[in-house]
Structure 1
Amino acid sequence: MKIGVVGLGSMGFGIATSLLRSGHDVYGADVNAEAVERLRAMGGSKVDPKSAAAELNALVVVVLNSDQTEEVLFGDRGLVSELAPGAVVIMCVTVAPDYARSVAYRCATRGLHFLDAPISGGSVKAANGRLSIMASGAPQAFAAARPALDAMAEKVFELGDSAGAGSAMKAVNQMLAGIHIAAMAEAITFGITQGISPETFLEVIPVCAGTSWMLENRAPHVVEGDYTPRSAIDIWPKDLGIVLDVARKSKFAAPITAAVLQQFIAAAGMGLGREDDAAVAKVYARTAGLKLPRQEMPETADRETGWRP
């Protein structure tokens, strides 16, 4: 297949390389020219998706939010007007279900298939073609997208024949994922106040009932003091904001999610927005006057408080 991939961040770049390994012709686009050149050096097409749009069988959209999706698909240089009827748009962005339904309707008016197909699994699984995809759309859309999905994902959940169901499931997933990251941060810093080193926390908790996938994946970042962004703090005010908007429209109270959102907003306010989302632990550490591994003590902290390496 000839497949355009718009958005070559940590997830999108992994998707693009997985498609390349499966033998597809991949046309990449991103505001970061370096990412585009890196993909081309690995075998991606030298032609951008806009120029090749009429020949594409599929367009995978892996940008940040609905505003960027709108620009990519329907803006002044939007690709939907250039795609040939019968092509499939695979939207992997975390958006509200109502927005996914809107995109599906507008694609259908131009004779295009559409899959509401948010993704989960992180950058490593994206690069290995082992994502989980929560997808919904017409059977014809699944059929048109199948070769791309097979290259991208270890598991494709088919959640219904109309758009919106995939995004609804992603909202549920993001609610849990955000809560679990913040819970890890709260627990590891609480442990420090009790004289438990982060290393000991990481040795014990993953084999106890209090563990979670997010704890096991993110706690090592805190222990190593490595906040290189695999998934950035800035993602969570957006994603949890979507969750709470959907909940509000459904008249559903989500107090735990609301509290967690405030911790991520606080982290962004501390200037941590581009750091790994495990850096939300720094919010707890700062409040308690604690030192995390490889982190300087806050100037206002009690130097006799907390764990010492």
Structure 2
Amino acid sequence: MTTIGFIGLGIMGGPMAANLLAAGHTVLGHDTQQAAAERLVTAGGKYVDSVAAATAADVVITMLPDSPQVEEVVLGPGGVLEHAEPGLLLIDMSTIRPDTSVAVGAAAAARGVRALDAPVSGGEKGAIDGVLSIMVGGDVHAFDAARPVFEVLGKTIVHVGPSGAGQTVKAANQLVVGGIYALVAEAIVLLEASGVDPGPGLDVLAGGLAGSRILELKRKSMVARDFAPGFRIDLHHKDMGIALAAAREAGVALPMTGLTAQLIAAARAQGHGSLDHSALLKVLETVSGKAAS
């Protein structure tokens, strides 16, 4: 079994670290939140109080909120690369800008460290159940070395290209997810405004060509207005910015992505940033004058 340093033990990172422990790996976990540290210890892991201590491992996984945090933790003073021994396998599973992943890959290679960008899709439930989709950019030999770790965490594991490619695929994933949430929200608004029970209505949609993973997992909670966060609006807002920046860099127009990004920005502006991204329903209700009084 492998000793794994795991930096970032939040909604996604916490259950991922727990699954690695359950598979028999030793996990050295680091996070700035005390509650996250306590959950790791309860699951059988060892909490360490610094990035340097978490880097004393065969594999280091980072699961952080955004590019600045990855740059600080990996590239900054006292960061992973400053303490890494040659041959370390560094797997960044955060969702960040592709150019940041390219920079991390280049800096890691200069120190003899194998780096992969491996963002995930599947939300908190996918992390808990160990069935995440993992899209991996970087050297194919490093990918092969990391596969045993990925197989504990995910079900769909695909090497998609060089450094940064994983993040580009994740940007594509997030624009599709955001668009589907917006359309499901519109469907609920239409059904309810027309006097149709949205529960059975969405059951039919889920069983037909309109079916999706989002309808499968979220239709009941959306109808019930249960927006407990599995993936927060704040984070999806960040991800849509990444998608739009990637589109600009690639020189392509993504008009539906732009509209969806504005709806997510509206959700955040309306104070829903801490809610699940299915709370786009609240925005569409407001637009239609159907918001709860």
- The TM-score range, normalised by the shorter chain, is over 0.9
1:49, CA displacement in angstroms?
A: 5.5
> 1:95 maps to which residue?
96
> What amino acid does structure 1 have at the position aligned with 2:211?
T
For residue 165 of structure 1, report the CA deviation from its aligned partner: 1.6
* Aligned partner of residue 81 in structure 2, secondary structure: coil
Q: Letter of the aligned partner of 1:45 in structure 2?
A: K
What letter is aligned with 1:264? I
Aligned to 1:128: 129
Q: Structure 1 pair 86/28, CA: closer, same or farther in 2 (3 Å)? A: same
Aligned to 2:271: 271
Which runs of structure 2 are paired with 1:139-154 in the superposition (5 Å)?
139-154=140-155
Residue identity in the other structure for 1:131? L
Aligned residues: 292
Q: Percent identity?
A: 37
| Deviation, structure 1 residue 279 | 0.9
Unaligned runs of 5+ in 1: 292-296, 299-309
The residue type equivalent to 1:181 in the other structure is: Y
Aligned-partner Cα distance in 1 for 2:152–2:120: 13
Secondary structure class of the residue paired with 1:37:
helix
Structure 1 residues 76, 207: closer, same or farther in 2, change over 3 A? Answer: same
User: Does 1:176 find its partner at 2:180?
Assistant: no
The CA deviation at 1:219 is 2.1
Amino acid at match of 2:275: E
| Post-superposition CA distance 1:50-109 (Å, at most 9, x none) | 353453111111111111111111223312211211111101112222221111000111
RMSD: 1.6
Q: Distance in 2 between matches of 1:281 and 1:150?
A: 34
Alpha-carbon shift at residue 253 of structure 1 (Å): 0.7
Equivalent position SS for 1:234:
helix
TM-score by length of 2: 0.94
Q: Find out whether 1:19 has 2:20 as its counterpart.
A: yes
- Corresponding residue of 1:114: 115
Worse overlay, 42-51 or 15-24: 42-51
Is 1:243 the equivalent of 2:239?
A: no
Aligned counterparts of 1:139 and 1:236: Cα–Cα separation in 2: 29
Q: From the superposition, tell whether residues 9 and 23 of structure 1 become closer, same or farther in structure 2 (CA, over 3 Å).
A: same
Residue in 1 aligned with 2:257? 257
1:28/1:54 Cα in 2 relative to 1: closer, same or farther (>3 Å)? closer
Say whether the 8 Å CA contact 1:58–1:88 is kept in structure 2: yes
SS for the counterpart of 2:174 is helix
Cα distance in 2, alignment partners of residues 215 and 282 from structure 1: 17
* Counterpart in the other structure of 2:209: 209
Gapped regions of structure 2 (runs ≥ 5): none
Cα distance in 2, alignment partners of residues 289 and 204 from structure 1: 26
SS of aligned partner of 1:159: strand
Partners in 2 of 1:232 and 1:55 — Cα distance? Answer: 32
Contact between 2:17 and 2:27, CA under 8 Å: does it hold in 1?
Answer: yes
**Structure-2 separation of matches of 1:49 and 1:58:** 16
Q: Do 2:227 and 2:279's aligned partners in 1 also have CA atoms closer than 8 Å?
A: yes
Which of these two proteins has the greater Rg computed from alpha carbons? Answer: 1
Q: Which letter maps to 1:152?
A: L
What's the TM-score once normalised by structure 1's chain length?
0.89
